[in-house]
Structure 1
């Protein structure tokens, strides 16, 4: 007797081609409203699903996994980061966790460069002048920014995305520096032209641009704090497309207001969508709604990874992108 098809519950609206393929292959329950599920709704979804497909907006902790224990066997996360899921607790309960690594590397690195250019070339200020009709014509000293060539970028977290940022920065004529848990292989350092700094303090004090590309873990929480922000050059800028919790947002806001740092480009925030109102008011800040991976191609490829992980599990094999606690 054939096994019944897996019951899949998807927490948010995914790109149409991904949802169409899910409907072809599985018994799937899609999100009609695209509204973020409450804790209670997530637990109810776990109770009726063999496979849950959550996103970064869905925090799944140990208590929720305990309450939803029973039918759920796989959490096929739509996204690379899994710090919103208690992976250790899931493993303890026999629930596999998968993610979608690698597919948004180039997209996120592109966004890092977009934020760097926006800050250093004062693009938002120029746009505001045009849209508010206050521009009266060209002037020799108006909207002067800085060229990227000849300046130094420091990359905190030299994984896939950090290395992609390094390649782009080098193409712009920048010198590349990095701090990482482990030093990279010499071949990768040679390819990216990157100089390793064992001391994060020493690196941040010497670079003109600091790019945050490390995951959020207990050891990286507030890694960029008030003390390290004080070490940065007053004309330096900081860009974060990784996880908001890596930066002490209140300290960053104070530093920007005081002129201790020249600017910040943020695509992620310490408290999710609850943005510090003082941060919104600053003219030397570019704020984006977590759109670093938001390309049509990237989001469809993320869905294809989810589909492959579910299909492989359904066939009785280990999913290719399985996450274990030691990886988090």
Structure 2
């Protein structure tokens, strides 16, 4: 395919959906250590809604291009690039520069303040990408850098998830459904808390052992379903006051991973629920490149298929953001 002389991208000159505009810019040439990727798909995260709205309080230069997750094809490589060759399929890392081990302060967030992915072509440091799964198309692969890796990092990388354990998952968005799928992949059972009766059948079909309604006494029901033990792992995607109920549902010595903040930015929990339950409460800020490479291998070996709620054309970004804001069963993806 002959590459165009210009790229298309969505950008913001100031915050707010009404300021999103599509522009053309000259196609860049990769410098040393860089790759130019023709984007095949971009998956959207709840974070993207917040970044478009107000930048989540971060300071960076305008205009900026939103979105943090993409899959595409390398179309040019700069000097000294050994990781990838032209024609190879890649996905980006959410944290540019966090390769393994402990997080480092010089790591850069994709989609603000680092480079955004809502473009026809993206220039990246070659170290900020990994090979895409061979078993997934671009839309499916684009869901891994943030949502897929967040669930993997909570359960497999830091949680040491084992067969026979119980995973409690809040919601049916991208991270939640990856958590469900990864729990089943590891031989664990998944209990899902949902606010929508309409999603019960879909959630059970995906492998959940039970779906409990958010307005029920689900902490007590989780304990009943686990013969009094409680959940070994909790993916806490609501936070706020919901954390206290999650701790009530957790097993002695269980692990609660703080991931989302739909219930508010301030956490609220009982001292007794945390201390007497000996819970480990950990914050999950996605994960490093090596863990993403592990996830890609697991996806390919086990033929795991991410759940995509809808695919939108590049020009239909405003409609895709509206769908994301309303809530979706799985991921919202922009295809190019």
Structure with higher Rg: it is 1
TM-score (norm 1): 0.43
TM-score (norm 2): 0.42
Q: Which is helix-richer, 1 or 2?
A: 1
